[in-house]
Structure 1
């Protein structure tokens, strides 16, 4: 779950501190323990008691920060992923998509397969977790695509309706398949293939017309 860098160790249910300041080290210990146990035992078997034991804190310490397991897991996911999408550059839509797809591939490659599997399974069994994960994903998808697509429109690009949603549906799925299922890396040639042959035609409303004409003369133009 790649996020856009607005995460912090504090959870969404915190209240203003009264009295003794909160120990930031405990915050980190709780979130780290949550991620480790989530990978080890899965979402359904994850409990506040086991997290407290692994983090070396009292269960009440966790409940002062997070109202329930869903809130804690969501906070842990946001805490783990702190990289921001790349800034828009001068290279036009294609250049910005190449940079964005490469960044997205790096974020996905860094994720632990066991953690992703635990989250996906948890989303199927707990509607509350599913809602939280979708909230995070929608927010981060908007953070990824808002600037590149807005700048493209300003430069006169004609994009398909719901272009941002199309990018969010296609790009991560293709990258996950490449890394997890095929066991391949997302090298430069593959990134160019994904952008030129799939994303640009799709975002422009011409899914059967690969955008090869935008490639520079030095581009390899082949895919692995």
Structure 2
């Protein structure tokens, strides 16, 4: 096996490359964790790079080298916390597929702090840069869910069904958690799937 870039042949230890010191990923995590905790505590408007630097122990210049502005920092923090993609749908029926995706989505959103969700939504309304960055993340997740539906149940779907699922399911789950203040338990997921999503998605 060949030597890795920036590795000493004699010691095998990482060394600074000609481009500068290796990136400290532990510092990255500290910055993103500090951003999430402060976002929940003070909201997007009051969040500052100075506060993140103080909470994380990183220099403000270090944060700016990684993230050009507050919107980019917050989007990166939210993206790291979110699951990368939905699991493959379980079962063979359209209901199995829809239920698997809806349950994953409900669980993923429910795991987010309500205060964090509210802070992000408020920030998106008031900062176009944050809204743009978050929509890129949301579109990626919507595409993954749509691909799962189409791949497993295309012949049973109404036209535009994957887009409907990506728009309706997250909206109702967020409404349940943030507005109604109730959990997305098994009974709610069953109701969401059987009474709302399947009638919308089925090819007639």
Aligned to 2:3: none
Please tell me whether Structure 1 or Structure 2 has the larger radius of gyration of its CA atoms: 2
Match of 2:177 among 176, 179, 185: 179
Query: Aligned equivalents of 1:190 and 1:37: distance in 2?
Result: 31
Question: Helix, strand or coil: the match of 1:42?
Answer: helix
Q: Counterparts of 1:97-108 in structure 2 under 5 Å?
A: 97-108=98-109
Q: Counterparts of 1:31-46 in structure 2 under 5 Å?
A: 31-46=32-47
Aligned to 1:121: 122
Contact 1:93–1:149, Cα closer than 8 Å, also in 2: no
Alpha-carbon deviation of 1:35?
Answer: 0.7
Match of 1:163 among 136, 161, 165: 161
Query: Aligned equivalents of 1:36 and 1:50: distance in 2?
Result: 11
Contact 2:39–2:119, Cα closer than 8 Å, also in 1: yes
Superposition TM-score, scaled by structure 2 size: 0.84
Alpha-carbon deviation of 1:17?
Answer: 8.3
**Deviation per residue, 1:24-82 (Å, 9 max, x gap):** 11001100111111111111111111111111111111111111111111110111113
Alignment length, in residue pairs?
188
Match of 2:190 among 189, 192, 195: 192
Q: Counterparts of 1:62-81 in structure 2 under 5 Å?
A: 62-81=63-82
Contact 2:149–2:162, Cα closer than 8 Å, also in 1: no
* RMSD over aligned Cα atoms: 1.9
Alpha-carbon deviation of 1:180?
Answer: 3.1
Identify which range, 111-120 or 181-190, moves more after superposition: 181-190
Contact 2:83–2:108, Cα closer than 8 Å, also in 1: no
Contact 1:94–1:195, Cα closer than 8 Å, also in 2: yes
Query: Aligned equivalents of 2:18 and 2:144: distance in 1?
Result: 30
Runs of 4+ aligned residues of structure 1 deviating over 4 Å after TM superposition are none
Query: Aligned equivalents of 2:18 and 2:121: distance in 1?
Result: 34
